[in-house]
């Protein structure tokens, strides 16, 4: 459905298009007053993008190609430092703060690879929600049922990142994922989103939410696209993922927690995906994962995110609490009541939790479950009611955050039928199994598309 990076690169190599042409197309879509550009981007680097595109075309004409994404427009979340500009993280309270002295490592890696960094994308303020609603810069509408009754949420916190790709404003996007912020908007917008093992990609120059849980990953058109972007972000050599054999693949499908509150559309798409996997020879074992039922109690006082967010924000809150999205600051303030002993309890509980979960996963190739249990809710419904907002936020974050707490890797694949609401199928594995998971995902992607 969306252009793949390898095809775009082939078009550039053959002369069927140019980086300048791709960049001008992206900039025109961003500037289109009838589109979502004003809500998708908080900064647009038009002059720099045009210069980078011209440089890419000049180098390609001389036979030089810096990477598989050389000359391709890419967006970055408004959480990453860009030299000379204050990093706002979807907020207004950081306006006027010192500009970044250097690019974030991931931004510099993109530039070194020849990517055309087109701009910074909108997000949930300070990345502290899975819905993508932002009262300061507006909320980008999901392409599904856009304009109907005020539109559907894009998912968050990497909201603008997802819509930048679905609307052709970027060929791929870079987001952060603390509890699903790459995978949720990917699932709700029909994209592929990859959350790597946290330590795989440098967080230097990235405004943190939780240093225990934060990770950085791509939102793109396919598994191959995500693998290409992951190699650039991590500074690793790129190896195209080879589809893992489906016959004999052992998948654990949890029956507790992750299916609670699942709506009819997600349930139908999920069961259809499991049916295809079984028919292809995969062995799907449905059983409860006891550890999943324990996580809510472990994080009852707010967990890592509340404690760490409050530590980072307490000065800013004292300075300008009213400038925050009040639904975000209320969650940050939960960390005020967490003491050192409470945080240590979470740290120690996490060690045991990971050990128990990995023990149950031994003998399986991956976990499989819905990325989120519901399709994208209406923006207006969540804006109108705090109760509806918090209920939807908890439900949408619930499944993805299990993998962040596991310190694992995960990918969300679109699994809906053409024309239906976007639904994501999640594949996940313990930390360090990134490349193997991408190979499994490549095979599952091909099956779902058949």
Report the CATH number at residue 163: 3.90.1300.10
Residue 211, token pair as written in the block: 């240093």
Residue in 53, 51, 49 with CA at minimum distance from that of residue 70: 53
296 belongs to a structural domain: no
Which residues in the chain come in under a pLDDT of 50?
A: none
pLDDT at 254: 98
CB 188 within 8 A of CB 224: no
43 DSSP 8-state letter: E
The residues with which 284 forms a beta bridge, in sequence order, are 251
308 belongs to a structural domain: no
Q: From CA 24, how far away is CA 9, in angstroms rounded?
A: 16
Q: From CA 355, how far away is CA 362, in angstroms rounded?
A: 11
Q: From CA 193, how far away is CA 196, in angstroms rounded?
A: 10
265 belongs to a structural domain: no
pLDDT at 1: 81
The DSSP element (H or E) to which 95 belongs, if any, is: none
pLDDT at 156: 98
Domain extent at residue 116: 5-234
pLDDT at 281: 98
Domain count, the chain: 1
Half-sphere exposure of residue 99: CA atoms within 13 angstroms, side-chain side: 7
Q: How many residues does the structure list for the chain? A: 450
CB 438 within 8 A of CB 411: yes
422 belongs to a structural domain: no
Q: From CA 422, how far away is CA 186, in angstroms rounded?
A: 9
173 belongs to a structural domain: yes
136 belongs to a structural domain: yes
CB 180 within 8 A of CB 81: no
Does the pTM exceed 0.95? yes
SS3 286: strand
Query: Tokens 């039922």 label which residue?
Result: 293
Q: From CA 294, how far away is CA 232, in angstroms rounded?
A: 36
The residues assigned a catalytic role are 77, 157, 181
């Amino acid at each position: 459905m969306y252009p793949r990076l390898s095809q775009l690169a082939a078009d550039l190599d053959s002369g069927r298009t140019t980086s300048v042409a791709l960049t001008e197309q992206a900039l025109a879509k961003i500037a289109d007053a009838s589109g979502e550009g004003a809500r998708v981007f908080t900064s647009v680097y038009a002059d720099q993008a045009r210069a980078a595109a011209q440089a890419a075309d000049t180098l390609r004409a001389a036979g030089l190609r810096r990477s598989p994404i050389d000359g391709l427009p890419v967006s970055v979340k408004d959480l990453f430092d860009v030299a000379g500009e204050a990093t706002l993280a979807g907020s207004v309270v950081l306006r006027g703060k010192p500009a970044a002295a250097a690019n974030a490592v991931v931004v510099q890696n993109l530039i070194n690879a020849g990517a055309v960094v087109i701009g910074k994308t909108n997000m949930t303020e300070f990345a502290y929600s899975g819905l993508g609603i932002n009262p300061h810069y507006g909320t980008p509408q999901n392409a599904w049922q856009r304009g109907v009754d005020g539109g559907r949420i894009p998912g968050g916190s990497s909201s603008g990142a997802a819509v930048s790709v679905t609307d052709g404003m970027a060929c791929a996007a870079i987001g952060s994922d603390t509890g699903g912020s790459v995978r949720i908007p990917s699932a709700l917008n029909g994209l592929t989103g990859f959350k790597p093992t946290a330590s795989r990609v440098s967080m230097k120059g990235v405004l943190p939410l939780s240093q225990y849980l934060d990770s950085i990953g791509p939102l793109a058109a396919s598994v191959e696209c995500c693998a290409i972007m992951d190699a650039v972000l991590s500074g690793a050599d790129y190896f195209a993922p080879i589809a893992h054999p489906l016959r004999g693949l052992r998948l654990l499908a949890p029956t507790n927690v992750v299916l609670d509150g699942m709506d009819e559309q997600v349930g139908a798409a999920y069961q259809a995906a499991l049916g295809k996997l079984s028919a292809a020879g995969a062995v799907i074992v449905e059983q409860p994962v006891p550890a999943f039922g324990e996580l809510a109690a472990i994080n009852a006082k707010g967990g890592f995110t509340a404690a760490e967010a409050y530590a980072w924000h307490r000065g800013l809150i004292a300075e300008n609490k009213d400038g925050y999205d009040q639904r975000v600051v209320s969650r940050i303030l939960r960390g005020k009541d967490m003491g050192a002993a409470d945080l240590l309890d979470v740290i120690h509980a996490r060690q045991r939790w990971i050990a128990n979960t990995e023990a149950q996963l031994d003998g399986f190739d991956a976990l499989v479950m819905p990325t989120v249990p519901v399709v994208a809710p209406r923006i207006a419904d969540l804006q109108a009611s705090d109760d509806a907002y918090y209920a939807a936020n908890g439900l949408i974050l619930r499944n993805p955050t299990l993998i962040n707490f596991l310190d694992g890797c995960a990918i969300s694949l679109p699994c809906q039928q053409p024309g239906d609401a976007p639904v994501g199928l999640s594949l996940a594995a313990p930390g360090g199994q990134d490349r193997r998971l991408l190979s499994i995902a490549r095979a599952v992607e091909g099956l779902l598309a058949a």
